[in-house]
Amino acid sequence: MKIPGQITISTRRSPDEGKVHIELRDPNAIVRFLALSMDMANFTRALGGLSCCDCEIEVHDLEKVGKIRESKPLEFELATHDFGDKRMAMASAAAADRCPDGWTPNVSFNSQDSFYTRDGKSWARTTMHRWVERTEEEDNG
* Each residue's pLDDT tens digit, 63-119: 999 999 999 999 999 887 666 677 888 899 999 999 999 999 999 888 888 989 899
**Can you give the pTM of this predicted structure?**
0.76
Radius of gyration of the chain (CA): 21
Model pLDDT, residue 140:
60
Would you give the DSSP letter of residue 129?
E
Percent of the chain past pLDDT 70, that is, above it, reads 89
What integer best gives the mean pLDDT of the chain?
Answer: 90
Least confident of 12-21, 22-31, 49-58, 103-112: 12-21
Q: Minimal CA–CA distance to 70: which of 136, 129, 138, 25?
A: 129
Write down the domain spans for the chain.
6-64, 69-139
Distances (CA, A) of 84 to 61, 80, 87, 91: 34, 11, 6, 12
Q: What is the pLDDT of residue 137?
A: 65
